[in-house]
Structure 1
Amino acid sequence: MKFTPKKTAIAAFVGAQMLALSSVAVAQDSQADSAENEAQDVELILVTGSFVRRSENFESPSPLAVIDSVSIDAIGAKNIADITQTLTINTGSENAPDAFTQNATAGTSNINLRGLGVASTLVLLNNRRQVVNAQQTNEGLNFVDTSSLVPMIAIDRMEIIKDGASALYGSDAVAGVVNFITKRNYDGAKVTVDYQDGAHGDNKEYIMQGLWGATFDKGNVMAAISYTNRSPLFLSDRRLSRPQDDTSALGNPGAYFFTQGPLAGTPVIDPFGCAEFGGFPQLLAPPGTVPGLDIGLCGFDFGPGYSYVPDETRVNAYMKASYELSDSLVWTSEVSYARNRAERGGAPSFPILTGPLVPATHPNNPFGQGVVFFGRAEGNGFEADPANTESDTFRFNTAIQGELDDGFWELSYTNATNDFLFSVEDVIESEFLLALNGLGGQGCDPVNGTPGQGSCEYFNPFASSYTTSPNSQNVIDSFSGLQVIDSNSDLEVFEGFASFDVFDLDGGVAGLAIGAQYREETLEQDYDALSNQDSFTFVIGNPDFKDSLDVWAAFAEIALPFTDDLDVQIALRYEDYGGEIGDTVDPKLAFNWRATDDFSLRGSISTSFRAPSVFMRNGGATTLQQLADPLLGGANAFAAVRTSGNENLTPEQSEAYNIGFSFEPVDDWSIELDYWNFDFEDLIIQESAQAILNANPSDTDRIIRAGDPLTGPLVQVNNTFVNASSLNTNGFDIVTSYKIETEFGTFVPNLTATYITTYDLVDPQAGEIDGAGRRNFGNIGVSSPELRANFGLGWQNGAYSANLFARYVSAYDDDQNCADNGGTGVPAAGCGSAGLQEIDSHATYDAQVNVDLGTILDTQTSYVLTLGGINLTDEEPPQVFTNSGFDSKVHDPRGRQLYVRVAVEF
């Protein structure tokens, strides 16, 4: 086989250093003819996005970004989330999940290429699939938790296909593929210790990692382990929000609805007090309208107890071994395990959304009639209750690879599972009602007991509990329960393929790869017995469910080097989901034309098919979301959103194309520019609860309100999954770098940027939306600033190196608030000429200095000391008038982070 090396730049720069594509995955030696007809070894490699081995000088027809371990270290990344957060092609990922944006996924992280959803990017580990997280996002999406892959010290590089790859990898690769590749044939040992300290609160992070590898005559083995301990950052440590942004209408002290008389259905503030006990009176009528009473609600600022960053510990372990069974047969196996534990802060107790009746006989009831309590069991002055997540991920892969005379074959098996346990305390409705009727307390017999006597106690919901009639801990404990969601996700994959030469062309030998795959995905969620009965007053509950999805697939790819300058790739994949989902055939056509030694043109076009997930079809969940109630002038309300699965979903389909070029105008200066376009039809989405509210705030079938069902305070919104009409997004990526050699060292300035020109969507409730440059709070989209850019400067001189970064996110509109109303929401009539509130542009600056002490001291052991800082100027994220005060899907709330790393390699 003959290869003619070309001067190329597969991916010039992502991060700080020149990113070179090194030998990956599978390799063999091949003979290439030199000018003197002398034999020389040319290594063949598998590049992400192809099953045909190519020359190491091959230039991919798909836009491929490569981030190597040097670049990962250069940005000061402590985990994979730190990498993806800086990628300009990533938008809307949930790398800092909290109670306001993601109720039950603290401690996880994910990737969202092009803002197409965290389930639309296929995440691979050494070209193999990983199981999805068993606990879904608020939007009902199960994603690969990148925090549970492998220790960072084991990663050699990260390769990203940016133009969609369903024709090669299946429906999960709608937006692209991110392939994490571990080190190969590592021989030695390495230990790193990181310490990071934040400028606010007690937010610190410790990371210890170890790597060991050995190479033998017929194989090699590598093992890695890491331990991470991260302390929390609470809203009270760095308050970015205004009190009103985190204020719930349901507090303690609370409010009460009359059930009879002329004030029936009217809320009144607790007559024993509100503001004097830390509440925020929200008057709905002028004082004196009702003598002795204030019509309105007593708000509660729940923000201080919540955390931006959870208290987290994480252990990741990974082992890989390869053994040559013969000269042409290699067996490889991998085992990985991740144990994550996270605790995020919360409120003292959740709002009680069930409208419990306080009887007229209650000894503390001042109204002389039964009233409906609109508040929470514990509020101001009480300690916050945390929520806890426990995630355990196990993955096993084994593969055998054999060489053919003109190619190779491979069989592999993957088995992976994620066990995810979420627990949070809430009020049990039936026990709370007993306590309001004097039959509370853990020792009370509600059948034979006497209200308020002996071991039977009243719970006092009124503000007099702060003074003359306090509640005992015993009665509070009697109606407090723990919601526990035990979720399990399993993945099993059998896959085989063969790649071989088929015929000669002017540019070399055409390669053909054919293969088949079977995979089974199972999802199970087991709720506690109380949740099965919808017994909680806020998190409510949910029935258990278990279901699975079987997928059969066959695929083929042919690589056609028509000339020395033109390569064409054709791929085709068939997938059969069975049942009502059906099957699909998705093709991809791509080319790379090297017009000159300095200029090459690439393009690709493909279709994609994404089936509804197990959860979307059969699952169900209740999440807690911040919503703007049009009946209250757009005022924020924290309410339950009850989502049910939809068995009538149809698969979504899309087309994607990319056109780009690589150009080297002068030596060591590379420029890459790509235009990308994704066009979706029948997009599967969870209905926007906000859009449902906006469309008809008095829809009694889908919206539950306290008191008056048409106008009362918001309690719950019911939604499901639907096929939206369409989503179209396109834009430009630019990557450029210039290597400058001077007597003071090597300087490498670089730029990586993504500009979104279009993010148009049709929402079933919100209608047609121009989502580019918009937060998309009120529709199915994600936050989409139009421009994200990273400017970098790398320097190296002998044993010393340094990196500087400037990271920029452009301004975008906040469709939750009008520009002229002080952040009080968007009224039902819209914002008029004032327009939407703008979220300011944001720029942060990072720096790092490295000293190779081993080189300076002339030792055989490598000692590298690293000092660095992230967001050195401690810039606050742009203010957003919402819970927590910033957009957690775009910006980082932590502020300045200083770190030190010591790496020792033997």
Structure 2
Amino acid sequence: MKIKTKISTLAVAISAQLLAANSMAIAQEQEVKEDQAIELIMVTGSFVRRSENFESPSPLAVVDSVAIDAIGAKSIGDITQTLTINTGAENTPDAFTQNATAGTSNMNLRGLGVASTLILLNNKRQVVTAQPNNAGVNFVDTSSLIPMIALNRMEIVKDGASALYGSDAVAGVVNFITKRNYEGTQISLDYQDGAHGDNKEYTVQGLWGTVGDDSSIMAAISYTNRSPLFTGDRRLSRPQDDTSSLGSPGSYFLNGTPFIDPTGCTEFGGSEILLAPSGTVPGLEIGFCGFDFGRTYSFVPDESRLSTFVQAKKQLTDNIEWTTEFSTARNRAERGGSPTFPILTFPTVPADHPGNPFGADVSYFGREIGNAGDGTSFPGDPANTESDTFRFSTMLQGELDTGFWEISYTAARNNYLFTVNDTLAQEFQNALRGFGGQGCDPLTGTAGVGPCEYFNPFATSFTVLPNSQNVIDSFTGREEIDSKSNLEVVEAFVSTELFEMDGGSAGLAFGAQYRYQDLTQDYDSLANQDRFSFVIGNADIYGEQDVYALFGELALPVSDDMDIQIALRYEDYGGTTGDTVDPKFAVSWRATEDFSLRGSISTSFRAPSIFQRDGGGTSLNQMVDPLTGAAAFAADRTSGNDQLVPEESTAYNLGFSLEPVDSWSIEVDYWNFDFTDLIIKENFQAVLNAEPQNPERVIRAGDPLNGPLLQVLTTYVNASSLETSGLDLVSSYQLETEVGTFTPSISATYILAYDLVDPQSGPIDGVGLRNFSNIGVSTPEMRANLGLNWKHDSFSANIFARYIDSYSDDQNCADGTVFSAACTQGYKDVDSHLTWDAQVNIDLGGVFETEGAYVLSLGGVNLTDEEPPQLFTNAGFDSKVHDPRGRQIYARLAIEF
């Protein structure tokens, strides 16, 4: 058993407001009736109930429904993008770095990874997506939680929380809390129109609830439809950033030298990429016929979302309440792509091919469909995602004389289907030899006769020797990955008072949890046989995981001014993953009525995922074979590693709260995370360089030691570390005037350190760096939101300025060349980014004195239509930091009666 004892002696005393304001929160007065009894509540970050005005020793931020409405958010991804504590989340679909997860969204607190923030729904876990991201990480899809209309608030614990909640709470916890005991009916209609292309979005939501003497029920439904925005609608990249050497027209290798298709290139929409002066070989040009593949990809997919949520409560006895929840999410997304993928298997065009102008066997370097004869692109061949999420949770909660108990069961499932077209390698080769066509048998047919057809890869296919759809269909297949992820959680705990202290009753909570998770990925039969020329394929995947946990928490009100929290959790994964113990110690001290301090220190962990332990994938990559020094396209086949150990983190937080004058609050926190044993995928080139003749890691054709390179076998390893620290600032001031209440606010995060140790790149100072060439994420040094809210009678308005600092792009040099060790002028700068959002609200019900409430909101995001800073890379912007959509104007009508 690993006992983490990195916690050194640290005497800190601290205190914070229970619900620390977030950048979007609008300061509001709380009305408390004098004759109302104090309600005890359980907040995120503790299993012990406290009074409503309790000050948490952990840094806790809250985004309530008022703040969510104030930014015009129509999805949780819209909220995430504005959080300054979020770095590197994948909420903007980027086909180049988010291959199969279009239509999903996630959280990435502190840039520690999309699976290092624990996502809860009403204090209970949610299932992860069955489809991992490009890094092989399964995450909770926040777009598949609940309808936004049912969301009451988000509570965010901003320090390590594994001592309370277990695995994944490395960077913190985000708890989505729904409305409760709602009575009435609410309908909202949203419409949003983008400044570019045909990008529009509308959302229809409904909420209904009723409360009886001993029961209540609430139901919500939401439907969103979003039309696509293509890269061709708002081209952010340079042509060379999205130009492939593999096009159609393509290039042909003869005796190891590439030649541009002599029957045509530029006249059919290609671009010549010369590798030698024109005329070096009479009648031929050495090089490639470039293809611009970037015009048909999606910045925003064609997307629809339908989600439902039902919550029912029943008071079984005076002391026992039963709560049951059921939710569904049906998300569909179609992401545009290039007309077809490149063919990287170097198929042979025989000398006797009727269109072959070389008179000799040549190797084809291109794709089945690229440019049309008029120089425009064929419509992009889309990739489709279908995600269906189901969740059921039931809970019994009972009152004790001095506390309460809770027993719960949660079951959730995600079904995820990803489909994309690709060229079938052997069938394409058959077609080049004259045995194409869906009715052709290569064993009995005759090349180019009857049902057997030639595929013409040359530019003459646009003119005198066109290809039939029949021959194209014969070598085009569709890869399907049908994935399923299951989660079951049984949890029970008791919270009770122990004894009296100077500040009140000491509280104790203790309990146990059992979690079961499994993951299945079922590839189609063609993929099982590695039949595709680009996506290749993969074997089916299955894995499961059982976790047993025990946890406890002490809440000690030492005095009226000081509270101490001590927590400890044990989790056992069995097998080689083993078990772990994580403690937490937190203190708050109210030094004066206007000034308080808080501090916490804890250890956290993230266990290897099922995919990292039992899964894997295959991709085709360009590699350099150290035996020959020549470039070759070979498969990188990654398999799981059952010897992985959990990632571990030590985190501490120091902060203070200050109210220098009435209605002016200031919150400052210093945070530090030391993350070790990070799980990463091995670099295929590093494996190849280290062991080029190891047949257990490098697969070669024919001679296992010296033959042509076919595959490199990689896996996941514990290989890296990351230490990050920084400062959070949150402040707001409420000013009452005759013309209304004005509330200026600021929320900012300044990152002091983001120090990485990468297996290939070594030590990296990652602050202010894109971290393209290492394991980190883009890390601008500072992000800040400045807001101003105004409210008067039935009218309100707000405006936000959102600033993202500049940073350096380690993929490109400052002189515009691709990164190399000779970047004498340093890296290229990614410019800072400032956008403006605004909103006006009119309570029509108040204006016209109606019975129901009718609120009309008009607003805009990025009102000045600022372009995201340009990167010299595919798509032309950083999808982990910036939004490519530009100005978005929206209107919302919310009706409640």
TM-score of the alignment, normalized to the shorter chain, above 0.5: yes
Say whether 1:825 aligns with 2:818. Answer: yes
Of 789, 793, 805, the match for 1:794: 789
Q: Match for residue 254 of structure 1?
A: 250
Distance 1:21 1:301 in 2: 58
C-alpha deviation, 1:270, in angstroms: 1.1
- Whether 1:783 and 2:781 are equivalent positions in the alignment is no
Q: Deviations over 1:240-296 (max 9, x none)?
A: 0011111111111111112xxxxx222111111211111121111222222222111
SS in structure 2 of the partner of residue 375 of structure 1: strand
The corresponding residue for 2:360 is 369
The equivalent residue for 1:395 is 391
Equivalent position of 2:755 in the other structure? 760
Quick one: structure 1 residues 692 and 891, their matched pair in 2 at CA, closer, same or farther if it must change by over 3 Å? Answer: farther
Paired residues for 1:397-416 under 5 Å: 397-416=393-412
Note the C-alpha offset of 1:611: 1.3
Residue of structure 2 in register with 1:180 after alignment: 176
Give the drift of 1:725: 3.0
For residue 434 of structure 1, give the secondary structure of its aligned residue in structure 2.
helix
Give me the whole-angstrom Cα distance separating, in 2, the residues matched to 1:714 and 1:776.
30
Give deviations 1:392-449, integer Å, cap 9, x for gaps.
Answer: 0000000001111100000000000000000000001111111011010011122211
Residues 20 and 754 of structure 1, relative CA distance in 2, 3 Å threshold:
farther
Aligned CA distance change for structure 1 residues 287 and 526 (closer, same or farther; 3 Å): same
Q: Residues 41-52 of structure 1 correspond to what in structure 2 (within 5 A)? A: 41-52=37-48
Q: Does 1:811 align with 2:806?
A: yes
3-state SS of 1:683 partner:
strand
Q: How does 1:452-467 map to 2 (within 5 A)?
A: 452-467=448-463
Q: Which amino acid aligns with 1:579?
A: G
Shift of 1:171: 1.3
Output the amino acid matched with 1:646. Answer: N
d(CA) in 2 for partners of 1:244, 1:465? 26
Listed as ranges, the matches of 1:513-524 within 5 Å are 513-524=509-520
Matching of residue 736 in structure 1 with residue 731 in structure 2: yes
- TM-score (structure 2 length as normaliser): 0.94
TM-aligned CA deviation for residue 160 of structure 1? 0.2
**Aligned partners of 2:694, 2:158: CA distance in 1, in Å?**
44
The answer as to whether partners of 2:625 and 2:709 remain within 8 angstroms in 1 is: no
Distance across 2 between alignment mates of 1:798 and 1:691: 66
The one-character-per-residue Cα deviations of 1:546-586 (angstroms, maximum 9, x if unpaired) are 11011000000000000000000000000000000100000
Greater Cα shift, 615-624 or 724-733? 615-624
**Offset of 1:8 from its aligned partner?**
4.5
Q: Which moved more, 1:728-737 or 1:714-723?
A: 714-723
Q: 1-side partners of 2:138 and 2:619: how far apart?
A: 15
Residue-by-residue CA offset, 1:201-231 (whole Å, 9 max, x unaligned): 0000010000000000001100000000000
The alpha carbon displacement at 1:369 in A equals 1.9
1:12 CA drift (Å) = 2.9
Question: Which of 856, 860, 877 pairs up with 2:868?
Answer: 877
Contact in 1 for aligned 2:536/2:620 (Cα 8 Å): no
Task: Indicate the residue corresponding to 1:28 in structure 2.
Answer: none
CA distance in 2, matches of 1:43, 1:638: 65
Distance 1:561 1:714, change over 3 A: farther
Task: Give the aligned partner of residue 670 of structure 1.
Answer: 665
- Give the aligned partner of residue 273 of structure 1: 264
1:750 equivalenced with 2:745 (yes/no): yes
Residue 86, structure 1, aligned to residue 95, structure 2: no
C-alpha RMSD over aligned residues: 2.6
Check conservation: 1:605, 1:658, Cα contact below 8 A: yes
Q: 1:608 aligns with which of 604, 608, 631?
A: 604
Aligned counterpart, 1:448: 444
Aligned match for 1:594, one of 584, 590, 596: 590
User: How far apart are 1:690 and its partner, in Å?
Assistant: 8.5
Match of 1:526 in 2: 522
For 1:20 and 1:554, how far apart are their aligned partners in 2? 40
Q: Which one is further off, 367-376 or 532-541?
A: 367-376
Give the secondary-structure state (helix, strand or coil) at the position aligned to 1:761. strand
- State the TM-score, normalizing by the size of structure 1: 0.93
Look up the equivalent residue of 1:499 and give its one-letter code.
Answer: S
Gap change, CA 1:96 and 1:51, over 3 Å in 2: same
Decide whether the 8 Å contact of 1:686 with 1:780 is kept in 2: no
Aligned AA (1:365): N
Corresponding position of 1:847 = 838
1:14 aligns with 2:20: no
- 1:135-534 counterparts in 2 under 5 A? 135-258=131-254, 264-381=255-372, 382-534=378-530
SS of residue in 2 equivalent to 1:765: coil
Distance 1:764 1:859 in 2: 66
Indicate how the Cα distance of structure 1 residues 408 and 460 shifts in structure 2: closer, same or farther if over 3 A, else same.
same
SS at match of 1:615: helix
1:367 CA displacement: 1.7
Shift of 1:145: 0.3
Give, in angstroms, the shift of residue 540 of structure 1: 0.5
Partners of 1:704 and 1:874 in 2: CA distance:
51
Q: Percent identity?
A: 68
Q: 1:21: how far off?
A: 9.4
Whether the aligned pair in 2 keeps the contact of 1:691 and 1:766 (CA below 8 Å) is no
Structure 2 counterpart SS, 1:682: strand
Cα distance in 2 between the residues matched to 1:270 and 1:704: 32
Judged with a 3 Å threshold, the aligned counterparts in structure 2 of structure 1 residues 801 and 640 are, in CA distance, closer, same or farther, namely farther
**Residues 608 and 624 of structure 1, relative CA distance in 2, 3 Å threshold:** farther
1:183 and 1:225 map into 2 onto residues whose CA distance is 14
Q: Compared with structure 1, are the counterparts of its residues 222 and 75 closer, same or farther at alpha carbon in structure 2 (3 Å cutoff)?
A: same
Provide closer, same or farther for how the CA distance between residues 344 and 329 of structure 1 changes in structure 2, counting only shifts above 3 A.
same
Q: CA deviation at 1:856?
A: 0.6
Q: Which moved more, 1:183-192 or 1:276-285?
A: 276-285
Following TM superposition, by how much is the alpha carbon of 1:643 offset from its aligned partner in structure 2, in angstroms? 2.9
Measure, in 2, the Cα distance between the counterparts of 1:881 and 1:688.
23
Deviation (angstroms), 1:847: 0.3
Distance across 1 between alignment mates of 2:423 and 2:217: 52
Aligned residue for 2:39, secondary structure, equals: strand
**Where does structure 2 lack aligned partners over 5 or more consecutive residues?**
1-14, 373-377
Distance 1:10 1:108 in 2: 28
Deviation at 1:96, TM superposition (A): 1.1
Q: Indicate the residue corresponding to 1:27 in structure 2.
A: none
Range with bigger deviation, 378-387 or 573-582: 378-387
Distance change >3 Å, CA 639–CA 776, structure 1 → 2:
farther
AA aligned opposite 1:420: Y
Compute the displacement of 1:645 (Å). 1.7
For residues 511-557 of structure 1, the C-alpha deviation after alignment (integer angstroms, 9 at most, x for no partner) is 00000000011000000000001100001000001110110000000
Cα offset, 1:100, TM superposition: 1.0
Q: Which amino acid aligns with 2:132?
A: Q
Structure 1 regions of 5+ residues with no counterpart? 1-5, 24-31, 259-263
User: What is the alpha-carbon distance in structure 1 between the residues aligned to residue 314 and residue 620 of structure 2?
Assistant: 51
CA displacement at 1:874 relative to structure 2? 0.2
Distance apart, 1:366 and its partner CA = 1.8
Counterparts in 2 of 1:640 and 1:206: CA distance versus 1, 3 Å: farther
In 1, Cα distance between equivalents of 2:211 and 2:807: 52
Letter in 2 for 1:747: F
